Structure formats: C-alpha cells, structure tokens
Amino acid sequence: MPPKLLTYLILALLAASAAAARRHPSPASSAAAGEPVYLWPLPRNFTSGSRTLLVDPDLALDGQGPGGAAAAVAEAFERYRSLVFSPWAHAARNASGGYDVGKLTVVVASADEKLELGVDESYTIYVAAAGGVNSIVGGATIEANTIYGAIRGLETFSQLCVFNYDTKNVEVRHAPWYIEDEPRFSFRGLLLDTSRHFLPVDVIKQVIDSMSFSKLNVLHWHIIDEQSFPLEVPSYPKLWKGSYSKLERYTVEDARDIVSYARKRGIHVMAEIDVPGHAESWGKGYPKLWPSPKCREPLDVTSNFTFEVISGILSDMRKIFPFGLFHLGGDEVYTGCWNATPHVKQWLHERNMTTKDAYKYFVLKAQEIAINLNWIPVNWEETFNSFKENLNPLTVVHNWLGPGVCPKVVEKGFRCIMSNQGVWYLDHLDVPWQDFYTSEPLAGINNTAQQKLVLGGEVCMWGETADTSDVQQTIWPRAAAAAERMWSQLEAISAQDLETTVLARLHYFRCLLNHRGIAAAPVTNSYARRPPIGPGSCFIQ
C-alpha cells in the first residue's frame, strides 16, 4: 500500500472512531482519566482509546515501500521483538489463538540508508484490532520516510507493548492508537569519556542501546585526553603508547564496529580529539609533541610535526567516522608554559604574537585541516569567547561553561550545541533530574531564524569518577530527562506537572531500562547513582 494512501486510510479511521478515541494535541494523560501516558519521550501528537489488544508472540514483520525491506529495519524489528517477548512466550500462547495484532507492517518511503545530521526521524503508528469495529487497517502499522524514522517508531511501538503477568500475554492497552511523531532538535547527544577511564567496547555498545531507548541520536565519543590515548592511529602507531595499558586500547576495527553498531540504531558517532590542550598523553609515543619535558601541554605550536600528526590522526579517523561533524575541543588551554619554553617564546617574539594569538593560530589551523577533510568543526565555547571574529563560519560552538552562551553564538551567525555544565553534566551528581528536564536549549533566543541555528543539546558523561562499574547508573535516568526535552515539543512538556505526570512516567521509563538490562539508578536520589535506601518498588524510587 502506498504510504500516502495508508495515511488517508488512517485519518479516515480516526474520524470514524472519534467517539472511541480521545485527542491529545498536547499529550499529557491517556484515555484512562488522569493516568499518565507511559511513553518516553512524549510523541508530538496522538490519539488513544479504551481497548486492550493482545499481541501475537509470533508477531511477523511485513516490510513495505522502498525501504521496508532494508536489513536495518528487519534487524531492529528482531531486536525489539526480543525485548517485548519473553524467551518462553511461545509456550504461553493463547489457547484460542485469538490475537488482535499478529503482524507489524512497516512502510518506509526511502531505501536510502545514509545517516547524516538532520535525517528525517519522523514516523506515524497505528494500532487497532484486526477486523474490529470501524477498523480500516487492522493490526499495527509504522509509516516513516526513512529507515531511521522506522527505527524510532519501533521503539515507541515496543513501549506500547506491556506484558500481563496474570495472563502471560503481551498487550497494547488504551487502543486504538494513532501516534504522529518527530524530534524537536536534530542533535540530541550524549558525551562518553573513554580517556579518564577505559570503557570496553561491549559497555560502549550498551550505552548506545540505552541511548536508542530514549531516542538520543549522537554519541560524542571523547576518546582521547591528557590522561590516556587509547585509540590506534595507523599513521602514527606510537600514539597509543599513551594508553593506560596494552589491554585498555581501541583498535581501528573496534572503532568501526562501534560506528556500525550505532548506525544500525540511528545514532551518529561524533569523535573528538581535543587540541591544543588536554593532550599530554600524545607525547608518551612522540615526545617531540611536547614543547619541553616540563611543558607537556598545550602541544608545541611552533612545530610542523605537531600539525602533521593532527593531519594524520584526522585523515585516519575520516576513514572510520562518517558523521559530518568532528569535535576539535579547544577548551581549557593554559598557555603559561609556552612563555616559559625558550624556543616557543622565541617563535612568538619573531611573529609578534602573544600566547593568546598562538592559541587562535593553533585552533584555526586545526579547523583548516578538518575542513579540508570535509568535516564541519565543532569547538568548545572558549574559542568563541576568545576570538569569535576569526572562527571559520562553519564552526559549531559547543557551550559548556554556563547559561547564556548560545544566544550570543547564534546572534553572530554560528550554530550552537547546549551542554550547560550546571544542568547537563552527568558527573555533577548533585544536579537532580528536574534540572535536567527543565533546561531549555532555546532559552533567551526569541528570533526564529536564530533558533534554527541551535542544533540541539548534549548531556556529558565525563569519566573521572565513572567506569564500567557505575557509568550506566550515572547516565540514567537523568539523561532521559534531557532526552525528552530535546525530542518532545516544548508546548507538550512544559504543560506537564513535574511531580505527578512527568515523575510517574520517568519512574516507569527507569524501570523499563532496568528490565532491558540497563543499570539505571533510582529517579529521586538526592545524589545521582546512589542505590536505593531501603526496600520498595522500582516505580516509586
């Protein structure tokens, strides 16, 4: 069935079923009066009803349209089917065989599997009983323009499916459902720091899985920092001598595997090498990158070798990371030791440059290397604060120091990503979920054209006090609060009551993460990632 025809049929059904379904232009509660809609993040628009439908444990996929038969759609369907149905579901089949939903039809308009910033992630879902009253299209249908929209729709459909322990059936409650959804921002990120503590590949994949559950779509992989250099760089093979140990490294194959794993879940991987500061570990393999044994960072601005190495790293990374944005850091560059290093001091004197000038020179030269490799450079906000008039116009400025930066950035015509450390840094354990939820990337920006320059936001999991033992419970559930802020329409989430509607749904989503094997901490901790303080239900902690 052509996608447009399907839409017309669904809309006709909605009109016919108006008496049985309830419209939610600003979603807040389901057809059961006062009961929250247990979907996270909230869809843009939906209707729901009052029926409960049984879902066949042998639920079949019917891929339609140019992209419906894509391997990525089939793989995503299998992943979600395994999450929804217990391994023994077939043994508990309904004896009468009477299932309302036996097939999931996924209609995808495009077979293009290219994943780039701004890819269409919109989708619609319709779920109704096959052959039911007023039913035009029975069963369950997801319609999307791209495979990545279909994958987002599969996540929402999986959240509609609830296991009934009394009957041992999977049910869709409050049917029929019609959901129309799309993200508010194109960039919805999570930074993961693997320099301060090494995270095994399987742990990174678990984080990617958990991101897809809340519809985050950019993994900002902060691979390297002053403490360690764990990534293999074929052009300069001694660089990963800066790793903590030979067992705490990522091969090129590891990195490609992570990128492929993320892409299948509609998640970009934005890599970062932070220059010229935060780079002491580089010199473990190539000491010439240090200005001197006593001045180990920033990198030596005077040396052609420094920029040859940066070019080699970026050229090798370009073969691994297809995402159009690349993060070049540029934050916390303490240039004092440049002036205390004789050959650097002489170099500055000959060019009549200050250390601030040298910082600018370094950042702009690194940007040029990245742009020549067809990357859009992303830099931390210090670069904008220090020399905004010299930044390449392509630059995306990444806020972190505090509020009020993005309004200044977009006023100058640059694009911005919001990560205000006071509210969206996950390693700040005293920041409660409410602050994550209410922080608004467009705060202070009233001009519509300037609002479009805000790509979105990113929560940051810096790794000084997080490793495999506690990283997931530090990320979740607070990252989910920011994820809904970045996905759902502002009017819908602003209208909700934090302590009732939102909190109940966040409790539910946290428990869903736990059921899916994600070690999300209790929601209402006064200090993030702490375990429960006593016995109690997952849904009220």
Task: Report the distance separating Cα 100 and Cα 138, nearest Å.
Answer: 8
Confidence (pLDDT) at 87: 82
Domain locations along the chain: 45-181, 187-516
Would you name the residues annotated as active-site residues?
Answer: 332
What residues does 105 pair with on adjacent strands? 62, 141
Task: Report the distance separating Cα 330 and Cα 344, nearest Å.
Answer: 19
Q: Are 172 and 163 in contact (CB under 8 A)?
A: no
Q: Which CATH superfamily is domain 45-181 in?
A: Chitobiase/beta-hexosaminidase domain 2-like (3.30.379.10)
Name the CA radius of gyration of the chain, rounded.
25
Q: Three-state SS across 410-443?
A: HHCCCEEEECCHHHHECCCCCCCHHHHHHCCCCC
Q: Answer whether the bond into residue 237 is a cis peptide, omega within 30°.
A: no
Q: Which residues contact 304 (CB under 8 A, 6 or more apart)?
A: none
**Which of 406, 491, 488 minimizes the C-alpha distance to 451?**
406
Confidence (pLDDT) at 13: 47
Question: Which H helix or E strand runs over 222?
Answer: strand 218-222
Confidence (pLDDT) at 344: 98
Q: Are 125 and 6 in contact (CB under 8 A)?
A: no
Task: Report the distance separating Cα 229 and Cα 248, nearest Å.
Answer: 10
- What's the CATH number of domain 187-516, 3.20.20.330, 1.10.1050.10, 3.20.20.80, 3.30.450.20? 3.20.20.80
Dmax over Cα atoms in the chain, in whole Å? 88
Mean pLDDT by 10 residues, the chain (541 residues): 47 41 43 74 96 94 97 97 86 74 96 96 92 59 98 98 93 96 98 98 98 98 98 98 98 98 98 98 98 97 98 98 98 96 97 98 98 98 98 98 97 98 98 97 98 98 98 98 97 88 96 97 94 92 87
Report the predicted TM-score, pTM, of the whole model to 2 decimal places. 0.94
Task: Report the distance separating Cα 511 and Cα 521, nearest Å.
Answer: 9
Question: Which H helix or E strand runs over 524?
Answer: none
Q: Are 426 and 474 in contact (CB under 8 A)?
A: yes
